[in-house]
């Protein structure tokens, strides 16, 4: 596989978007005030705000623009009751104005890669290297083959090539594909939670749930991975259990 790809050379795009000025202090307020809220007031979130926050979630960066995510807004009372149960009746779920379920998909990359090619070819002015990326490199990298055989072959190829030069080593398994999809979906979740805070509402990302039950409730396909359930609403007194705790930043921030 040649190193001369869209990743290593300027593909020749001349599209440009001028970055708008940002109020950094206001953005910092959003970051600082985002807390995991576990008890909410009964005030509903306007549907207009929910839809905007969901659109913002889909603006998150993601691997190769393959968008391996789905976000389910739990809007009907019947499904909501089932979701409360699936979330083990946590107060963060039961008291929330609404719930979202973020799902990562490991098989949709094929369809989305084809759509990227169609969009590029229809545009007529997209560099050939960009089209080749989705036609050749994306299938090579993300396809694992029947029973994971192609992934195993890639693992061997990457190992041999890696003896002489830097090389990607994953994804070479279905497990790697889950990690790949979850990473992008988690970025969308952060966009969603920060957007809710910017509009005056709060959230809590939850991991305490029955994932098999959620997949049954939402009738999710086999390749779907439940990444997190996000509760949302207006914070109530006592909904934040205490001041934010963070350990010494020097434990985590490394300058090399």
Q: How many domains does the chain have?
A: 1
Residue 137 counted as domain residue: yes
Domain membership flag for residue 212: no
152 within some domain: yes
**79 within a domain of the structure (yes/no):** no
Q: ω before 171 within 30° of 0 (cis)? A: yes
Does a structural domain hold residue 120?
A: yes
Is the pLDDT at 100 greater than 80, yes or no?
yes
Q: What is the pTM of this model?
A: 0.94
Model pLDDT for residues 172-203, shown as the tens digit of each residue: 999 999 999 999 999 999 999 999 999 999 99
pLDDT confidence band for 14 (50 / 70 / 90): confident
- For residue 44, tell me if it sits in a domain: no
Structural domain for 141, as ranges: 111-162
* Domain annotation covers residue 135: yes
């Amino acid at each position: 596989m040649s190193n001369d790809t869209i990743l290593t050379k300027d593909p020749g795009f001349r599209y440009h978007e001028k970055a708008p000025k940002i109020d950094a202090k206001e953005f910092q307020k959003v970051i600082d005030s985002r807390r995991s809220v576990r008890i909410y007031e009964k005030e509903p979130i306007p549907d207009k705000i929910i839809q905007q926050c969901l659109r913002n979630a889909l603006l998150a960066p993601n691997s190769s623009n393959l968008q391996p995510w789905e976000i389910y807004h739990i809007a009907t009372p019947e499904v909501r009751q089932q979701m409360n149960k699936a979330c083990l009746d946590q107060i963060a779920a039961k008291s929330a104005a609404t719930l979202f379920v973020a799902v990562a998909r490991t098989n949709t990359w094929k369809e989305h890669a084809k759509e990227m090619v169609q969009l590029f070819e229809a545009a007529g002015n997209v560099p050939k290297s960009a089209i080749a990326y989705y036609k050749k490199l994306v299938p090579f990298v993300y396809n694992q083959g029947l029973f994971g055989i192609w992934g195993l072959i890639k693992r061997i190829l990457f190992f041999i090539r890696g003896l002489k030069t830097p090389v990607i080593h994953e994804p070479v398994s279905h497990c790697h594909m889950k990690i790949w999809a979850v990473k992008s979906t988690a970025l969308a979740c952060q966009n969603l939670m920060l957007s809710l805070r910017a509009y005056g509402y709060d959230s809590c990302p939850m991991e305490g749930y029955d994932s098999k039950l959620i997949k049954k409730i939402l009738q999710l396909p086999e390749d779907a991975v439940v990444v997190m359930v996000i509760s949302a609403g207006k914070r109530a007194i006592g909904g934040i259990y205490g001041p934010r705790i963070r350990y010494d930043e020097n434990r985590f921030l490394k300058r090399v």
